[in-house]
Copies of this chain bind each other. A is one copy, B any other.
Amino acid sequence: MTASHHDDLPARITLRYEPAGKSVRVPNGVSVFDAALWNGVAVDSTCGGHGTCRKCKVRIVDSETPVAAADERAFTPEQLADGWRLACLTTAHHDLVIDVPELTTRPKAATVGVGRQVILRPAVQKRFLELDEPTLADQRTDIQRVRDAMDDLELAVDIEVLRTLGRDLRAANWAVTAVVVGTHLVALEAGDTTDRRFGVAIDLGTTTAVATLMDLSTGAPVAVSSMLNRQQPFGADVISRISATMLDPEALGRLRDLAQSTLADLTVDVLVEARVTPDEVYEVALAGNATMMQLLLGIDPEPLGVAPFILASAHFEGLRAADLGVPIHPRARATVFPALGAYVGGDIVAGALAAGMDRDKRLRLFIDIGTNCEIILADGERLVCTAAPAGPAFEAASISSGMRAAPGAIEVVTIDDEGLHLEVIGGEAPVGLCGSGLVDVVAELARVGCIDPSGRFLSDERLAEVHPALAPRFINRDGERVFVLATAEESGDGSQVVLSQRDVRELQFAKAAISTGWRLLAEEIGVEANDIQQVLLAGSFGTYLSAKSAITIGLVPKIPAARIVSAGNVAGEGAKMALLSEPERHGALALIDEIDYVELSDRTDFNDRFVDELAFPV
């Protein structure tokens, strides 16, 4: 339950944890346990906040707090009167001060995401159990014997575990390691295997998929692998893949199989690299956009592709790794990030979690740049978000000399009085222009005045005045004006590398859509764009973008370049966090309820605002 369900209550409240003296602002209705863990305040627990272990004892200072049934079993009436409660069963609806007793065990932590310190509370737990053999005087069922040895957990048991349970327990001579994922008992392993537990974090992008094998005992990544999404033959963007399913009834099944085989190959890669067997990996956490998720799960994506853009479901509960085609333990579970909307998917929610968008008091802007560009603006009190249709500028195919960020791609462009300076990936002769190079060259040409604020190349006469050294590089080719970045002789493949007037227009459309997006969000929460204290650029494109160039063309607000930060693959970081901490996973769910989505295509003023934003800032 979150603030949205209690409209009469404050949306956010302040909790102060003592003796640490740490004050945190959290959504109304969050549990005192989750709020502590999200903010790095360690509270004892073995059940991970499910109300069963009764270890998360805290004292609520000077406040009347309802008593749950489990509280009555955990505390004496005197303790209850004194404010003692189980933190995981206590939801906070107004400001509270909470006394947290000293820990009986020291929690481990790992740093993930954008400097996030995550206390290790993986959903995957292992318990070594030495069970008594049954006798005529103790005829408990096999599964009850196992449950009784872990009575702080309330477990669901798959029929597959029961099929061999009797044989497994007896073969192991009643000494087994129980493998629990969340509330599921997934396996009983002979002997003590508690030192081996792994999970796979996956970011499934439209273009690229990345898998990281995580050691859940230490919180450390042990292997990483990435590859292109095998769905590429069905089109570069989500719309072309959705269209494919509308034209061909077989396409959905094939897209599902291709996505699953992508994940399977990545998983095998990381397992081999880390010398971990599939049976030691008990959970996969996955972040992907809404279309990737629905295709991966074989869910008809058509309603995502046509107005009013509807998700089948924001959440997918109860999934197994096998449902995603991920070849780890046969009963491994899967957790996938919930989506906020058809165009703000689980990848963005994962990214927002990893970036701590809900836990920072600064006014921050999060932009994941792509064909569909997701934007979040937050100030620690409000989170607003939108999806901006940036168009194909960042796709190689729509740009004259566009290419992926691969060897031979121009990634950095600077212009000075002498002329043009290029940095090419791999240090090779240039063969094309990747996204960051595109933004750079347009920004530099605009900065030196070769492109006017409306985006037009200057006439040859004006160019000769403004930048004589560069003027000869503006030529006519096939009836179109282009700027030559590399001549046929300079290039690595004998073809010119150019920036066309149309390329500039494509970039203008993209940047106008994006800046319209964040300007409207700023209005939504009543702040000035220039007050933004940090801009996080996410996704593979955003990571390599030059902050200076982004400011020059107006893609991001005009703030000091040092405050524009590459956030990296935050979706993948979010997936890692979900593996390492169940409370963080709950945090993603809370985010869904906290973020207000602003639909741009529904706004009558969008087109006017968009046209206003087409020009470059002067």
On A, residues with C-beta under 8 Å from B are 66, 69, 134-144, 156-157, 159, 162-167, 170, 297-303, 307-314, 316-319, 323, 341-342, 597, 599, 601-602
Contact = CB atoms under 8 A, between A and B. Distances in A.
Nearest to A170: B303
A115 B144 CA distance: 35
B316 A162 contact: yes
A159 B602 contact: no
A143 B298 contact: no
Given A141-B312, A142-B312, A300 B163 contact: yes
Nearest to A169: B303
Nearest to A166: B303
4 A-B pairs with the lowest CB-CB distances in the bound complex, closest first:
A136-B602, A141-B311, A166-B303, A143-B313
Contacts of A157: 313, 317
A169 to B, nearest CB: 9
Contacts of A314: 141, 143-144
Q: Copies per complex? A: 2
A298 B164 CA distance: 9
A349 to B, nearest CB: 14
A300 B164 contact: yes
A299 B163 contact: yes
A162 to B, nearest CB: 5
A309 B159 contact: no
B599 A310 contact: no
A612 B299 CA distance: 69
Contact of A310 (B137, B139, B162, B602): B139
24 contacts: A66-B69, A135-B308, A136-B307, A136-B308, A136-B601, A136-B602, A137-B599, A138-B308, A139-B597, A141-B310, A141-B311, A142-B303, A142-B311, A156-B317, A157-B317, A159-B297, A159-B323, A162-B316, A163-B299, A163-B300, A165-B300, A165-B313, A166-B299, A166-B310
Contacts of A137: 599, 602
Q: Which of A141, A143, A303, A323 has the most CB of B within 10 A?
A: A141
Given A141-B310, A144-B313, 19 more contacts: A136-B307, A136-B599, A139-B310, A142-B312, A143-B314, A156-B317, A159-B297, A159-B316, A159-B318, A159-B319, A162-B313, A163-B297, A163-B300, A165-B300, A165-B313, A166-B300, A166-B310, A166-B312, A167-B302
A163 B296 CA distance: 11
Nearest to A290: B141
A296 to B, nearest CB: 11
B139 A309 contact: yes
Contact of A134 (B162, B164, B308): B308
Given A162-B297, A299-B162, A342 B139 contact: yes
A140 to B, nearest CB: 8
A307 B163 CA distance: 19
Contacts of A298: 163
Nearest to A72: B66
A495 to B, nearest CB: 44
Contacts of A69: 66
A159 B334 CA distance: 13
Contacts of A140: 310
